[in-house]
Amino acid sequence: MKLLASTVLAALLALPAFSDTIPITLDIVNADGAPDGFSRSMVTANGTYPGPLITASKGDTLVVTVNNLLDDPTMRLSTSLDFDGILVDTGNSFDEGSSFVTTCPITPNASYTYVVPLVNNQTGTFWYHSQLSVQYVDGLRGALIVYDPDDPLKDLYDVDDENTIWQVGDWWHNSTLPMLAGYVATGIVPVSDSGTFNGVGRFNGGPEVPFFVVDVVQGTRYRFRIINTSARNVFTMSVDSHNMTIIETDGMPTSPMAVNSLDLLAGQRYSVVVEANQPVANYWINAPYVGGSPARNLNQNATLSRAILRYQGAPEEDPTSPMSLGPADEELNALVEANLRPLVASPAPEADINITLSLDVTAGKAQWNVNNVSYLAPEVPTLVKILDGANSTDDFNVTENTFILPANKIVQVIFPPSEDDEEHPFHLHGNNFWLIKSNSSDEINTDNPIKRDVAGVGSTGTIIRFSTANPGPWFFHCHIFWHLQAGLATVMASGLNETRAEVHPTQAWTELCPSYDALSPDLQ
C-alpha cells in the first residue's frame, strides 16, 4: 500500500489553527457476516456491519485514511467513500468522494486519505458509504455524528451518545454483481431479503436472530438519531406506547414536533426525543419497510424488522405485545414532512435560475432518465474536466447530464408530478437545499421552509432551492442506488472559474485516476 504522507501533511498544515483533527482509519475488507442469520461475504469497514461509528464536534476536521484490502471477486474490488450530508467547501471538493464526479475510485491494495473540514459550524446526523456503483449494498456503510456543544435544543433531552444511534437499512443475501446483472437483463429492481436495525435483522424461514436491544432508564429523555442507510427501502419508525419529538432533519435543527410515526426515505436522517415515561417493561421499536413487491423475494417480511426498547429492570425477553407495523389508524399521528419548520424561521431567497427536471423510466429496461437523458458516469471525472478548462455543456458528454451554473446564485429545481408509483429520494452532494414544496403536500412554503439534503420526488411534485455560493460539481441523484446506477442522476456544476481558482488537489488525488484506469475491468 502506498501512503503519500507528504501530501496528507500538506493538507493538514493548511487547516485553521483552531481546528481539531480527528484521525480515522478504515480498512475496507471482505468479511463473512450474517446480519439476519444468512452468512455471506460482505464489503465492510474494519470488518463490521454497520461500519465503525465516526464522531466529531463542531469545527473539527475529519482525516479519514481508507486502506482498500478488498479481494473477493464476486463484488467490486475498487472503492470510494462519500460522507453523506456533509457540507463540502469548494477547496476540498476533490475529497468529496463521488466516483467520476469529484474523484476516481481507490484501487485494490492502495490507500487514500480524505481530509474533510466540517465547515459552516455544521453539526448533526450523517453517515458514510461507498459511492462506487451499488457497492454499499454489500455492507460498506456507517454512521457519522457531529456533536454540537452549544446545541440550542439540548434542554429537551438527557442522553445523546453512541448508544442512541439507530441505523436501519435493507439487507441482501446475494452480492451486488449478479444482482446488478439481473437488473440490467430484466429492468426489475432487486428486492431486499430483510431489513436490519443496527446491523441485526430476520427473514422469513431464517433463524431467530436476537433483536437489537435499546436500553433506557425510566424518567430519562433520549435523543435517538435515526439514519436510513438503505439503497432502496423506505422505513416507517414508531415505538409502542411512546411519542417521538422531531428536533433535527438531515443535520438541520427543526422546531420540535411530536409524532408517533415517521417515514425515512433512503439517505434521510432524523433526530427524535423519546421520553422513557411508561411502566418498566419491554416495548417494540417498529421499523417496517417497503421497497418492491415481496412476491419477488419470499424471504421478505417487513413485520420482522424491529428492535426492543428495554427499560432498566425489565426482564430480558421479547415484548409480550403483538408485532405490529405501528400505531393503528385511529391513533396515528404520522409525520407530514410539509409541516416541519426550521428552529430559526427565515424565508427562502428568491430564485435567480429555474430548472425543471422530469423523471421517467424506459419500459422493460434498467434505464432511468432525467429530462430524457440517462446519466452515464464519464471516464474522466467532472472535476478533472473543469480543472482542465471545461467551460460549457459542450465540454461534457450529453450522458453526463451536467448543468452549468453561475456562482453566487439561487437555483430553483422543479420536479413535476410523476406517474411513477415510487417516491425517489433526491440527494444533493456537498450542499443542502430549501424544501419549498414537499411531495407530502400541495403547500408551497417560501416563508420558513426547512433545509435538508434528501427529499422525496413523486406523485405531487417537489420544489427545492439551493445556493451556488459554494462552487463545484455536485452530484444530484436518486438515493435508490439501483436507480442511480440506471441513470437517475445529474451534476450541478456551479462557478467553473471559481472552482479552478479555489481547488488545488493533492498529488495523491491526481494519481487516483491513472491508477484506476490502468486496472483490468475485473479489478475495478
The predicted-structure confidence for 340-383, as pLDDT tens digits, reads as follows 999 999 999 999 999 999 999 999 899 999 999 999 999 999 99
Are both 249 and 132 inside the same structural domain?
no
What total of structural domains would you count in the chain? 3
Count of C-beta atoms within a 10 Å radius of residue 393: 14
**Which ranges of 296-434 does DSSP label H, i.e. alpha helix?**
382-387
Are both 412 and 449 inside the same structural domain?
yes
Confidence of residue 38 (pLDDT cuts 50, 70, 90): very high
Residue 17, pLDDT score: 43
Quick: pLDDT tens for 386-437: 999 999 999 999 999 999 999 999 999 999 998 877 899 999 999 999 999 9
d(CA 279, CA 157): 19
Residue 5 has pLDDT above 70, yes or no: no
Residue 88 has pLDDT above 90, yes or no: yes
Residue 19, pLDDT score: 61
C-alpha cell of residue 229 = 442507510
User: Does 520 reside within a domain?
Assistant: no
d(CA 125, CA 247): 11
User: Does 516 reside within a domain?
Assistant: no
Quick: pLDDT tens for 156-177: 999 999 999 999 999 999 999 9
Are both 331 and 357 inside the same structural domain?
no
C-alpha cell of residue 419 = 406517474
d(CA 428, CA 192): 25
Are both 200 and 329 inside the same structural domain?
yes
Please provide the average confidence, as pLDDT, over all residues in the chain: 95
User: Does 228 reside within a domain?
Assistant: yes
Are both 399 and 483 inside the same structural domain?
yes
d(CA 381, CA 98): 9
Confidence of residue 2 (pLDDT cuts 50, 70, 90): very low
Residue 422, pLDDT score: 84
Nearest residue to 437 via CA among 449, 424, 427: 449
User: Does 293 reside within a domain?
Assistant: yes
Residue 18, pLDDT score: 53
Domain that includes residue 58, residue range: 5-152
Are both 323 and 378 inside the same structural domain?
no
User: Does 523 reside within a domain?
Assistant: no
C-alpha cell of residue 484 = 442511480
Are both 253 and 361 inside the same structural domain?
no
Task: Say what the pTM is.
Answer: 0.95
Are both 265 and 373 inside the same structural domain?
no
Are both 174 and 97 inside the same structural domain?
no
Beta bridge pairs of residue 472: 494
d(CA 98, CA 474): 9
How many alpha carbons fall within 13 Å on the CB side of residue 438? 18
Are both 143 and 228 inside the same structural domain?
no
Quick: pLDDT tens for 441-492: 999 999 999 999 999 999 999 999 999 999 999 999 999 999 999 999 999 9
Count of C-beta atoms within a 10 Å radius of residue 389: 9
d(CA 405, CA 476): 14
For the segment 61-87, the average pLDDT, to the nearest whole number, is 97
d(CA 273, CA 377): 41
Are both 357 and 501 inside the same structural domain?
yes
User: Does 268 reside within a domain?
Assistant: yes
We report the CATH number of the domain holding residue 193 as: 2.60.40.420
d(CA 438, CA 263): 13
User: Does 284 reside within a domain?
Assistant: yes
User: Does 347 reside within a domain?
Assistant: no
Residue 14 has pLDDT above 60, yes or no: no
First-to-last alpha carbon distance for the chain, in angstroms, is 17
Are both 96 and 181 inside the same structural domain?
no
d(CA 250, CA 270): 6
Which residue, 119, 152, 185, sits at the end of a domain?
Answer: 152
d(CA 507, CA 102): 15
pLDDT cut 70: percent of the chain above it: 96
Residue 6 has pLDDT above 70, yes or no: no
Which residue, 152, 183, 198, sits at the end of a domain?
Answer: 152
Which residue, 98, 121, 152, sits at the end of a domain?
Answer: 152
Quick: pLDDT tens for 205-248: 999 999 999 999 999 999 999 999 999 999 999 999 999 999 99
Count of C-beta atoms within a 10 Å radius of residue 351: 19
